[in-house]
């Protein structure tokens, strides 16, 4: 174990075989053993091999005594545990590397989350007052949305609003969501296309085939409000229906097709809905209503619709009021999926 022949080993003391830093502790323990203050001891120590290598050993030392006090012999059992100690050291180093990597990933996720937050719109005042809230289930989520005006002297003013929800959680869905979002707000699509919800969805369906985007499909609600006619043209691809709030009446606006990216030949249609003065429109991702309640039941769209109607009974209601009630209904105080809400209030 230590690499010396028997004759040489018999001429050496244990101190010569012990790593210098471990000698004081061993000396003190042996002194207590010889003095009778302890019967035995066990320690981990380093031994010096003849070839210069250091080995780790698990050593147990006991005594054979003459009478009650005098130690006649000391008996040591020494087991080579070098491989075990080196494996533990490697695990510790790997753990340190993993913690450093986790901290780096956390920092990058935080940076990505700040980027996502920076490109999502804030409140929009005007003839249509728009507010929004977003609570991702992880640091970064797969929902994105936008609302902005298109000014046109001939066609009049149009407000475009959309909400995208990509399947799954985490970084990959977020990348797909941001790709769709950036395409819509980049000016890559013509104005004529942007004002035609069915054409927008058809183009997105062509560009974001799920087989080329990690198996992720997307749902989207896309609408265009024309101020001159007070009409809302909208189309949906697998997304929950928008809710029109008129007074205390909450109405689902039906429009359904397959999610984006599933089928290349999917067809989309535009529905036109009149917007009376004072009407409100609520857009949301399915994380806003699909969650486990405190009693173990699954919250339903019907319960969400009823809550929206009750909440809208207060003329001063806000999305924060709605979110607060929804979070109180959850089993954990948090949403299980990304939750995005957009509220449009039409003059």
Each residue of 268-308: pLDDT tens digit?
999 999 999 999 999 999 999 999 998 999 999 999 999 99
Q: How far apart are CA 254 and CA 226, in angstroms?
A: 19
Domains and CATH numbers, the chain: 6-80 (3.30.450.20), 120-346 (3.60.40.10)
d(CA 236, CA 141): 21
Q: Which residues pair with 164 in a beta bridge?
A: 144, 220
| 3 state SS of 33 | helix
The confidence band for 38, taking pLDDT boundaries of 50, 70 and 90, is confident
Helix axes 319-329, 301-311, angle to 10 degrees: 140
Q: Are strands 143-150 and 54-66 parallel, antiparallel or unpaired?
A: unpaired
Q: Give pLDDT tens digits for 178-203.
A: 889 889 988 889 999 999 999 999 99
Average pLDDT value for the chain:
90
Separation CA 198–CA 150 (nearest Å): 18
Share of the chain above pLDDT 90, in %: 65
pLDDT at 48 over 90: yes
- DSSP codes joined into one string, 252-310: EE----PPBTS-TT-----EEEE--TT-EEEEE-GGGT-SBBTTSPBP-HHHHHHHHHH
Confidence at residue 24, expressed as pLDDT on a 0 to 100 scale: 94
Which of the four pLDDT bands, split at 50, 70 and 90, describes residue 172?
confident
Cβ 286 vs Cβ 245: under 8 Å:
no
Of the candidates 340, 298, 156, which has an alpha carbon nearest to the alpha carbon of residue 231?
156
Q: What is the pLDDT of residue 39?
A: 86
Other CB atoms within a 10 A radius of the CB of residue 68 amount to 6
Query: Rounded CA gap, 342 and 130, in Å?
Result: 7
Per-residue pLDDT band for 139 (boundaries 50, 70, 90) equals: low
Phi, psi (5° rounding) for residue 13? Answer: -95, 165
Structure tokens at 70: 């005098």
pTM of the predicted structure, to 2 decimals: 0.73
pLDDT digits (tens, 9 = 90+) for 238-261: 999 999 998 778 999 987 788 988
Read off the pLDDT of residues 56-81 as tens digits, 9 standing for 90 and up: 999 999 988 776 667 788 899 999 99
Q: Listing from the earlier edge strand, what are the strands of the sheet with 54-66?
A: 40-48, 54-66, 70-80
SS3 237: strand
Compute the average pLDDT of residues 86-110. 88
What does the pLDDT read at residue 299? 96
CA distances from 173 to 109, 116, 307 (A): 13, 12, 29
In this prediction, residue 279 carries a pLDDT of 95
| Helix/strand/coil for 2 | coil
pLDDT for 105 beyond 90: no
């Amino acid at each position: 174990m230590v690499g010396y022949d028997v004759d040489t080993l018999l001429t050496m003391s244990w101190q010569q075989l012990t790593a210098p830093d471990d000698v004081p502790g061993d000396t003190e323990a042996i002194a207590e053993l010889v003095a009778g203050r302890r019967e035995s001891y066990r320690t981990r120590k380093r031994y010096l091999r003849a070839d210069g290598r250091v080995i780790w050993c698990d050593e147990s030392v006991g005594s054979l005594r003459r009478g009650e006090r005098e130690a006649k012999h000391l008996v040591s059992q020494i087991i080579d545990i070098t491989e075990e100690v080196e494996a533990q050291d490697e695990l510790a180093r790997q753990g340190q590397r993993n913690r450093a990597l986790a901290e780096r990933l956390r920092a990058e996720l935080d940076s990505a989350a700040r980027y996502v937050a920076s490109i999502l719109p804030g409140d929009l005042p005007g003839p249509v007052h728009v507010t929004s809230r977003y609570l991702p289930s992880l640091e970064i989520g797969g929902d994105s949305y936008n609302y902005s005006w298109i000014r046109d002297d001939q066609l009049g003013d149009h407000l475009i609003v959309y909400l995208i929800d990509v399947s799954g959680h985490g970084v990959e869905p977020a990348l797909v969501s941001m790709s769709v979002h950036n395409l819509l707000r980049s000016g890559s699509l013509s104005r004529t296309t942007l004002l035609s919800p069915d054409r927008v969805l058809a183009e997105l369906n062509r560009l974001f085939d799920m087989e080329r985007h990690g198996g992720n499909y997307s749902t989207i609600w896309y609408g265009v409000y024309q101020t001159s006619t007070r009409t809302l043209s909208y189309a949906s691809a697998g997304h929950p229906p928008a809710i029109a709030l008129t007074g205390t009446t909450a109405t689902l606006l039906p429009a359904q097709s397959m999610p984006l990216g599933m089928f290349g030949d999917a067809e989309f249609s535009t529905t036109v809905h009149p917007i009376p003065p004072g009407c409100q429109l609520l857009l949301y991702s399915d994380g806003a209503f699909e969650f486990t309640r405190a009693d173990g039941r699954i919250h339903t769209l019907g319960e969400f619709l009823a809550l929206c109607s009750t909440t809208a009974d207060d003329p001063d209601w806000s999305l924060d009021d709605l979110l607060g009630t929804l979070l109180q209904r959850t089993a954990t105080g948090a949403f299980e999926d990304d939750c995005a809400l957009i509220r449009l209030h039409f003059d």
